[in-house]
Amino acid sequence: MQLPPRDTYEALYRDFRWQIPAKFNIGRAVCDDWAEREPDRICLEHFSPDGRHLSQTYGELRDRSAAFANALTALGIGRGDRVALLLPQGFETVAAHVAIYKMGAIALPLALLFGAEALEYRLKVAGASVIVANRFGLDRLRPIRDRLPELAHVISIDGGEEGVAGFADLVAAHPPLFDVADTGPDDPALMIFTSGTTGPPKGALHGHRVLPGHIPGMQFAHEGFPQADDKLWTPSDWAWAGGLLNALLPSLLLGVPVVSSPAQKFDAHTAFRIMAEMGVRNAFIPPTALRLLKSVDNPRALYDLKLRTIGSAGEALGRETYEWARSALGITVNEFFGQTECNFVLSSSAAFGVSRGGATGKPVPGHRMAVVDAEGREVPMGESGQIAIQRPDPVMFLGYWRDETATEGKFVGDWMLTGDLGRQDADGYIHFIGRDDDVITSSGYRIGPSEIEDCLGGHPAVQLAAVVGKPDAVRTEIVKAYVVLVPGHAPGEALAIDIRDWVKTRLSMHEYPREIEFVDELPLTTSGKVIRRLLRERAVAEAASSKD
């Protein structure tokens, strides 16, 4: 499943062949296989703000996960049952994941940022039998627990109480030996709900094959991963496909220590401190977080960074952030692309000569991709269409949970349509334009928001920006930008004019935002993506009220 030793992208792509084992279990691969060979090998480290950092070995992870698997079995949980995880990054989270996979049950990671309604929806749709949470998660769960009849057991990593079992108590009460389920690559292992940027979230069900399917992408984006002393950290929630499948699980499978950190609102200085103190060599940092890092001037002078690679995905990285990272961090960020349903299929890799500012990258070895029209026909080079992935593919979902109609609607023939617009240039690079729903129609032009947002982000006063179409009687839509300013800059008409002129002179006269609204924050998913749907609804409401 690993990349062959080749010097060029062309040779890698030509010579790679999938070798997915006939029997494969994620829990065994990320834990027990290493524990049998090197039980004292460090697999996890935890950053503590007080400087008393922790570590855990593969042997310790094997024992804790085995005991927890026995505890879940004693509660009546078995193969195919859904076990929800409402947890921050931490050792207990990994032990719970590994235990679930060892049992042949299905892990259902949920973000702590979800409100009660979002949790209730996901737990009901999935039919979860158990939830493992921390104290914060329990507070979110209490108002809805009576409305979840299938949720038979609640477990807390912060200790037991009435109606709640303690995680540590369960582990201590059961033996650290467990016979791992005899699973195949297509047996279900993991359900991750889509982010809901454009509609109701759906449960994307993945088989155990999803993990080996991610290894070529990890090795490509992180340039020969693993190398000596590699160590990976991400600020992304492990409940998101990015944090789990682009960081945690592949690193554990490859023997690379993973750094966890306490849940918090993203802070640039804290992020740099984590990377410096923990000796992080490899980071997965979504574009929004990278843009927030720009608030720290000359970070290499302030922090002893040992970074070797940075991967980024979730939104378009953009040329401005790409160039900032080269200048400020001395690293070429390798952008990659995927979806909850089919992840890490497109990537850059500077080490293999695949890197271009403003372009996402090329297909990762092992994945067949194209830009197609609505009928699944490949469009001519340079023309826009939907980015699509050809099946079969090991990272492709088994289907949406109990929703065959939605699953079938995701495909045209053997192409899985992503709903993301892109174009492929003459050199084979795929350029991300935006979600099909996000494209703005103005005066006959079809305008993607990503390029405008990237340009806005280069303005010295702009920290974050999101662009949507606002209904307009003359132009069909106008480009409207919602802008979060860098601290120290005051909103006002003079600044709005300066920002508009910035875009006019750098892009084109038809793409600049005719309206700019300064806001304190943008609506984000738990994976850090802007929820443009909410901003579009806001712009539509504004347009309607102006007619009244």
Q: Could you report the per-residue pLDDT of 120-173, keeping only the tens digit for each?
A: 999 999 999 999 999 999 999 999 999 999 999 999 999 999 999 999 999 999
Spatial CB neighbours of 378, under 8 Å, sequence gap ≥ 6: 370, 371, 372, 385
Kindly state whether residues 114 and 14 are assigned to the same domain: no
| pLDDT at residue 379, as a whole number | 96
| pLDDT at residue 491, as a whole number | 96
The answer to whether position 46 is within a domain reads no
Ranges 76-80, 261-265, 468-472, most confident: 76-80
| pLDDT at residue 432, as a whole number | 86
Inform me whether the pLDDT recorded for 319 exceeds 80: yes
Kindly state whether residues 297 and 348 are assigned to the same domain: yes
Inform me whether the pLDDT recorded for 264 exceeds 90: no
- What CATH number is attached to the domain comprising 472? 3.30.300.30
Kindly state whether residues 166 and 238 are assigned to the same domain: no
Kindly state whether residues 426 and 472 are assigned to the same domain: no
CA distance 469 to 193: 27
| pLDDT at residue 196, as a whole number | 57
Inform me whether the pLDDT recorded for 333 exceeds 70: yes
What are the tokens at 480? 């409207």
Kindly state whether residues 90 and 80 are assigned to the same domain: yes
Kindly state whether residues 496 and 425 are assigned to the same domain: no
Kindly state whether residues 251 and 130 are assigned to the same domain: no
Kindly state whether residues 200 and 290 are assigned to the same domain: no
The answer to whether position 407 is within a domain reads no
Percent of the chain clearing pLDDT 90 (strictly above) = 80
The answer to whether position 90 is within a domain reads yes
The answer to whether position 108 is within a domain reads yes
Kindly state whether residues 112 and 83 are assigned to the same domain: yes
Assign 544 a pLDDT band (cuts: 50, 70, 90).
Answer: confident
Range of the domain at 494: 439-547
Last residue of some domain: 181, 208, 235?
208
Number of domains in the chain: 3
Kindly state whether residues 365 and 312 are assigned to the same domain: yes
Render 118-154 in DSSP notation, one character per residue: HHHHHHHHHT-SEEEE-HHHHHHHGGGGGG-TT--EE
Residues 165-171: contacts with CB under 8 Å, at least 24 apart: 167/68, 167/92, 167/96, 167/132, 170/67, 170/68, 170/71, 171/64, 171/67, 171/68, 171/71, 171/95
The answer to whether position 406 is within a domain reads no
The answer to whether position 188 is within a domain reads yes
Asked if residue 387 lies in contact with residue 345, where contact means CB atoms within 8 angstroms, the answer is no
Last residue of some domain: 182, 208, 234?
208
Kindly state whether residues 1 and 93 are assigned to the same domain: no
Ranges 172-181, 309-318, 528-537, most confident: 172-181
Kindly state whether residues 89 and 174 are assigned to the same domain: yes
Q: What is the pLDDT of residues 12-28, one digit of tens each?
A: 999 999 999 999 999 99
Last residue of some domain: 174, 208, 242?
208
CA distance 395 to 386: 19
| pLDDT at residue 447, as a whole number | 80
The answer to whether position 216 is within a domain reads yes
Model confidence, pTM: 0.86
Q: What is the pLDDT of residues 426-435, one digit of tens each?
A: 999 999 887 7
The answer to whether position 282 is within a domain reads yes
Q: What is the DSSP letter of 380?
A: P
- What CATH number is attached to the domain comprising 84? 3.40.50.12780
Secondary structure of 202-252 in the HEC alphabet? CEEEEECCHHHHHHHHHHHHCCCCCCCCCCEECCCCCCCHHHHHHHHHHHH
